[in-house]
Amino acid sequence: MKRFAENSPINQNSRIENILSLLELKDRLICSVPEDINMIDYKVVNKILEKLRSESHQFLKQALDID
C-alpha cells in the first residue's frame, strides 16, 4: 500500500515502488483494497534478491578494495 499521499512532504512511496519494480512485483502496489490478490512466486523473488545481493557485495568489495 502507498504509505503517504503523493503530495505529502514525507512521501516515501518511490522507495516502495522501486523495490517492487526491482523484484518484479510492481503489480503488488495496492492503492485500494482489491477483491482478490494473486499468490507471489517467491522462488522468482528469491532468485532476483540473490542476484541483487551478489551485485551489492561485489560493488562493496570493489569500493572498499577488498579481495
pLDDT tens-place string over residues 7-65: 665 667 788 888 889 999 888 877 766 677 778 899 999 999 999 999 999 999 999 98
Are 30 and 38 contacting, i.e. CB atoms less than 8 angstroms apart? no
Note the pLDDT of residue 28.
80
Note the pLDDT of residue 22.
92
Note the pLDDT of residue 33.
65
Cβ neighbour number for residue 39 with a 10 Å cutoff: 5
Are 17 and 29 contacting, i.e. CB atoms less than 8 angstroms apart? yes
Its pTM stands at 0.57
